[in-house]
């Protein structure tokens, strides 16, 4: 039986995909760069700077590192402003019930997210105190598919990664979970990924036994 479940944040606990898209769209439009929802799919599970690099593939000019940082910061300002709209009602179906069940079984729960806004989001939706550890973009140097964030989450829990299961909605996240030695549970956009150990439409469709076995 697994001793801990590590959850990605966006797309698993709460969905801020639209806020991300609209923020990147505003930045891209301001630079005259074509950006659409299909391109946006490539940004799932990767860091802010890596997302920007994908967007800049269609830029008509080259950008200095300083200019890239300014664009990334601009996106984050727009995004964080939109996050103030989040409330506990934005928590995805099944999340609270699953967290309650894990607590009842004395199984630890953690967050493993590349986002530097993780704690702000958790505060907005009222879940800041529901996790035993939080590993996010502020504590890592490599984003998914590198396993660093999940290894950090396991280390903070003081549990071997092989005793953890990861719930993810992105291919890069599933790759990171497998690289960390964790069981990989795919939901949402990643549910058809063959590398996952188990899949479901969303958390509400996950059985506790499939998670912890």
**123-182 per-position pLDDT tens digit:** 999 999 999 999 999 999 998 999 999 999 999 999 999 999 999 999 999 999 999 999
pLDDT of residue 45: 75
Give the C-alpha distances (Å, rounded to integers) separating 50 from 67, 82, 123: 14, 21, 26
4-15+88-212: what fold? Rossmann fold (3.40.50)
Catalytic residue among 8, 136, 169, 202: 8
CA gap 210, 212 in Å, rounded: 6
Range(s) of the chain covered by CATH 3.40.50.1000: 4-15+88-212
Catalytic residue among 10, 146, 169, 175: 10
Q: Which residue has the tokens 């590349």?
A: 114
58-74 per-position pLDDT tens digit = 999 999 999 999 999 99
Whether 10 is a known active-site residue: answer yes
- CATH number, span 17-83: 1.10.150.240
What percent of the chain clears pLDDT 70, i.e. is strictly above it?
100
CA-CA-CA-CA torsion sign (12, 18, 22, 28): positive
CA gap 154, 156 in Å, rounded: 5
Band of residue 44 on the pLDDT scale cut at 50, 70, 90:
confident
Whether 8 is a known active-site residue: answer yes
Band of residue 87 on the pLDDT scale cut at 50, 70, 90:
very high
98-130 per-position pLDDT tens digit = 999 999 999 999 999 999 899 999 999 999 999
């Amino acid at each position: 039986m697994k001793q801990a479940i590590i959850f990605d944040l966006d797309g698993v606990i709460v969905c801020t995909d639209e806020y991300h898209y609209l923020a990147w769209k505003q930045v891209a439009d301001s630079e005259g760069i074509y950006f659409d929802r299909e391109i946006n799919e490539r940004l799932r599970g990767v860091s802010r700077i890596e997302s920007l690099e994908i967007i800049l593939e269609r830029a008509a000019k080259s950008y200095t590192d300083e200019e890239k940082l300014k664009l990334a910061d601009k996106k984050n300002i727009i995004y964080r402003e939109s996050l103030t709209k989040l409330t506990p009602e934005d928590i995805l179906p099944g999340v609270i019930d699953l967290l309650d069940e894990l607590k009842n079984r004395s199984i630890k729960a953690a967050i493993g997210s590349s986002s530097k806004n993780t704690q702000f989001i958790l505060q907005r939706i009222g879940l800041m105190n529901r996790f035993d550890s939080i590993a996010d973009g502020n504590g890592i140097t490599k984003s998914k598919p590198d396993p660093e964030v999940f290894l950090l989450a396991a280390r903070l829990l003081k549990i071997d990664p092989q005793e953890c299961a990861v719930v993810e909605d992105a291919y890069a996240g599933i790759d990171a979970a497998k690289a960390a030695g964790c069981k990989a549970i795919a939901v949402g956009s990643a549910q058809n990924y063959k590398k996952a150990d188990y899949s479901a439409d969303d958390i509400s469709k996950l059985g506790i036994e499939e998670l912890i076995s």
